Amino acid sequence: MNKKIKEKILKGVAASPGISIGTPFYYVHEILSVSRETVPDYEIELEIQKYRVALEKTKEQILNDKKNAAKRGGGEAGKIFDAHLLLIDDQVLTDEVIYFISIHNVQAPYAVSKVMKDYQTAFEKMQNQYFSQRAFDIEDVCRRIVKNIISEDSQLEQSTVLKGKQIVVSNNIYPSDTLNFNKDLILGIVTEYGGKTSHAAILSRALEVPAVVGATGITKWIKKASLIIVDGYTGIIILNPKPSTFESYKKRQHEEIKQVEDDLKYSILPSITLDNQKIKIMCNIQSSLEIENVIKWNSDGVGLFRTEFLFESSLSILSEDEQFKIYDDISEKLYPREIVIRLLDIGGDKLNDKISVKEDNPFLGVRGMRLLFHNPDILKSHLRAILRASGRNNVSIIIPFVANITEINKTKIIIEKIKKELINEGYKINDKIKLGIMIEIPSVVMIADAVAKIVDYFSIGTNDLTQYVLAADRGNERVSYIYDSFHPAVVKMLDMTIQAAKKGNIPVGLCGQMAGYPIAIPLLLGLGLREFSVTPFLVPVVKKIIRRLDTNECRILAQKCLKSSTARSVTAILSDFFEKKIGENPLQ
C-alpha cells in the first residue's frame, strides 16, 4: 500500500497550454519478456521469416496510425510517423538483425531487441536533444516489431484504457500510444522524459490537451498521488495539492474557461484602436497543426512560420517535395490570409546535428543564413519548395539572423536564380514574392535606413534582439536579471527600426514574445508599430487591449519611455498607464 504524500511540486517543460486537474492514470508500457533463446541451424530461416512477416505487419500498423493521425491533426501530424517508417525500411538495420539471428542462432525477438537497443543507447548518449528524442522512435518501433513476432493478436493494450476522464502520466508516451487513448477522456499528459520536439508533445498540441514533458521524478511519486494539477503554461505539476492550492487552480481553470468564451467574442471583432487605426494581428506557428487555431482566433494570417521545427521533428533532411507539400498545404488552408515563412534558423539553442556544426559559442557562430550558405543544397531545396508554394500570392519569405547587407544581397541573387529555374521548369510561382529580414542583430538596426531600401519588410525578433543588445543569454538563469526587453537600449532599438521602416515606406512587424506582453502593447503602438505576431491563443487578448487604446496617447507614453534610463522605470510607466487605461493590473 502506497502512503500518500503531502503536496509536492515538480517542474518540467511546458509542452501544450492549459490547466488540468484530475486523478492520474499511470500508464506503464507493456513489458515484453524477451530472453536469449538459441535455435538449431535448421530453424534459423524460420526465425528470419518471422522477423520479415513482423516487419510487414508493423509497417501496415504504422501506415494506419499515420492515416489516423492525419485525420485528427492534419498532414503534419501524420508525418510524425514517417520517422518510424524510415526505421522499418532501413535495409542496414534489417540486415543487421538477420545477420545477428544467423551468426548467434537466436530467436527473432531477441535479435530485434538487441540490435535496436544498441542503436537506441547510442542515440541516448548523444549530447543533443534532437537525437535523444529520436531514441524513443527506435524504442517504439522495436516494441511493435517484437510484439508482432511473439503475439498473433497485437490489439490495443488494456493498459491504455482510461478509467473515466484522467491525466495520463508515464515515463514517455509513444506516438502510437497518444493515438490509441480516447481523446475525450484525456485531461492532460505528463511524461518523465521528452522535450518540446518530442512526438508526444507535438501530438498533445494537436489533440489540444495540456501537457508537461521532461518532468523528472514524476513516475517515482505518481503512485502516491490521488490528485494532480498540470499547468501547461509554466510546466508545473502539483501532486496531492492542499485545499488552498486546489481552490486557487480551480479558480484559474474556471477563469480560463470563461476567458476562452470571452476571447472568442473578441476574436470576431476588428482590430481597431479608439482613433480608428487598423492594426494587423498575425500568428507565430511552427507546425501546420496550428493552422486551425490561426483561423479559429480570426487572425490576419501567419507572421512567422518557424521552419526549423519541421527539420527537428524529422529523422532525415526534408526533401524539396516534402517541404513543398507542407508549405502548399498551409498556403491553401490560410488563403487569402498571408503567411510569412522564415528560412531555416537552426543553430544556437536549436542545434541540430544533421547539418549544424559543434561550436564553443553557437549563439554567435554558424546559425541562420550563415549555416544555409554553408549548405547550399539544403538552401536551394528549401527556397525551391517555398517558391513552388507561392502561386497563390499569399506567401512571403523572411531571412533570419542577418548582420549585414552582403547577406541580404547574396540571398536575393540565389532567389532570383531559382525563380528563373522554376519558371523554365513550368512551375507557377509568384515572381514578385516579398522578401523581408528578421531584425535580431544590433548591427542591422544601426543601418536600418539603408536596409529598408533593399527589402520589402522588417520583422523584429525581440527575443534575440534583447539577448544581443544586452549580451545576456536568454536561456541562462544566472543572467536572467539582465535580460529584459524593457531595457531602454532595447526600446530605442525598436524605435530606430520602426522609424527606418516608416522612412523607407515598408511594413514592420514584431514577432517576439514582447508582442504578447499586455503592458508592451501601448508602448509598441506609441512607437508606431502596426503589426503584431503572437501565439494563436493570444490573438483575442491583444485585440481586446488594442480596441481600448488611442495611438495618440500611446505616442506620448512611448516618448516618456524613450527618456527613461532603466528597465524598472520603463516597466513602472507602462504598468501605471495600463492600469489607468485598461483597468486591470497587468502584473497579476
Catalytic residues: 199, 511
The edge-to-edge listing of strands for the beta sheet with 13-16 is: 13-16, 211-213, 186-191, 166-170, 24-26
CA separation for the pair 127, 181 (Å, rounded) = 32
Note whether 162 and 186 are within 8 A (CB): yes
Close Cβ partners of 361 (under 8 Å, ≥ 6 residues apart): none
Per-residue 3-state assignment (H helix, E strand, C coil) for 157-180: CHHHCCCCCEEEEECCCCHHHHHH
Note whether 51 and 111 are within 8 A (CB): yes
Pairing of strands 301-306, 280-285: parallel
**Cα angle: 474, vertex 405, 471; to 5 degrees:** 20
φ and ψ of 318, to 5 deg: -65, 135
CA separation for the pair 59, 47 (Å, rounded) = 18
Terminal CA-to-CA distance of the chain, rounded, Å? Answer: 42
Question: What phi-psi label fits residue 20: left (phi over 0), alpha (psi between -120 and 50 degrees) or beta?
Answer: beta
The closest of 254, 240, 158, 173 to 207, measured between CA atoms, is 173
Query: What ranges make up the beta strands (E) of 461-539?
Result: 508-510, 531-534
Note whether 107 and 39 are within 8 A (CB): yes
Residue showing cell 518540446: 196
DSSP state of 566: S
CA separation for the pair 342, 357 (Å, rounded) = 21
Grid cell locating 563? 527618456
Q: Which residues pair with 26 in a beta bridge?
A: 169
CA separation for the pair 85, 585 (Å, rounded) = 51
